[in-house]
Amino acid sequence: MLSILFLTLILSLFWLLLSWQFAPFVLGCGVVSIALTLYLAQRMRVVDAESLPLNLSARIVWYWLWLAKEVALSNWDVARHIWGKRIHINPRVIQVKTPMKTPFGLMLYANSITLTPGTVCIDIEDGQVTAHALTDSAAAGLESGEMGEKIRRLGL
Amino acid sequence: METFLVLASTLCISMGVFLGITGAIGIFRMPNFFARLHAASVTDSGCAFMLLFGLMLQSGFTLATIKLCFILLFFLISSPTAAHALAKTALSCGAQPTSSPREER
């Protein structure tokens, strides 16, 4: 019930911020589409505790800042390889252990891996993530397990 | 302050354009599917973020910035999902994840 309320609140806020018009007709359209979305979400059974991420600690902001730095660094690394005279890459598939406990943590980990250029997450199974790495430095960065450790320390 | 903002946003947008071109060139230069996927992800992450950030600096504290934030948020979720779907499908269809030295140009 709480998650339904939360979803309604988020959807209303989303509609208002996108339209920012308060004519009765536009607001009515908003009410109808929010109701339809709620009905569909209910029918698909996607409304659960996971869609209500209130248990996230504020420390995740630091993780995002760190991730932004990593994305910038690996962008630079891959761009250097692209502009290089000869392409010195060593692409391969590697496997890394996943230390996190919750599905949300796994999702965050896989998304972070894929978001960083040079590494793409392919599969997660039995506490192991299978990823494709483009260069030696990208593979080493992933194998050091720093990213996973940071997510685990967030309690995810 | 005004000049500084214009300068910073110009710098961000130029950086984004540069990274976009880099990604496009990478797609042509890289030897196989997976390497090309990494090149494309430069456009997906760096280019898109820098462009959006530069535009946010231009629009300041307005409704447009909030909409740009929404775009950024959806990008953060959808672009890794697309890359993952491509990589997983390619691997299960038998694309070669490694490249032999002969292939490197």
- Report CA torsion sign: B76, B51, B33, A115: negative
Query: What CATH number does the domain located at A60-153 have?
Result: 3.30.70
Strand partners, A92: A133
User: What is the Cα–Cα distance from B95 to B89, expressed in whole angstroms?
Assistant: 9
Strand partners, A48: none
Residue B103: is its pLDDT beyond 70? no
A18:B70 CB<8 A: yes
Residue A55's pLDDT is 66
Which DSSP letter does residue B102 get?
G
Nearest 5°: phi and psi at A121?
-75, 130
Number of A/B CB contacts below 8 angstroms equals 111
A75:B26 CB<8 A: no
pLDDT in tens, A8-63: 998 999 999 999 888 999 999 999 999 999 999 889 888 776 666 666 778 888 99
pLDDT in tens, B44-84: 888 999 999 999 999 888 889 999 999 999 998 899 999 99
User: What is the Cα–Cα distance from B95 to A13, expressed in whole angstroms?
Assistant: 44
User: What is the Cα–Cα distance from B9 to B27, expressed in whole angstroms?
Assistant: 27
Contact A82/B at CB under 8 A: yes
For residues B54 and B10, the answer to whether their CB atoms sit within 8 Å is: yes
Q: Could you state, in order of their start, the residue ranges of all structural domains in chain A?
A: 2-51, 60-153
For residues A104 and A71, the answer to whether their CB atoms sit within 8 Å is: no
Q: What is the pTM of this model?
A: 0.84
Question: What is the side-by-side strand order in the sheet with A92-97?
Answer: A92-97, A128-133, A119-125
Contact A22/B at CB under 8 A: no
B46:A20 CB<8 A: no
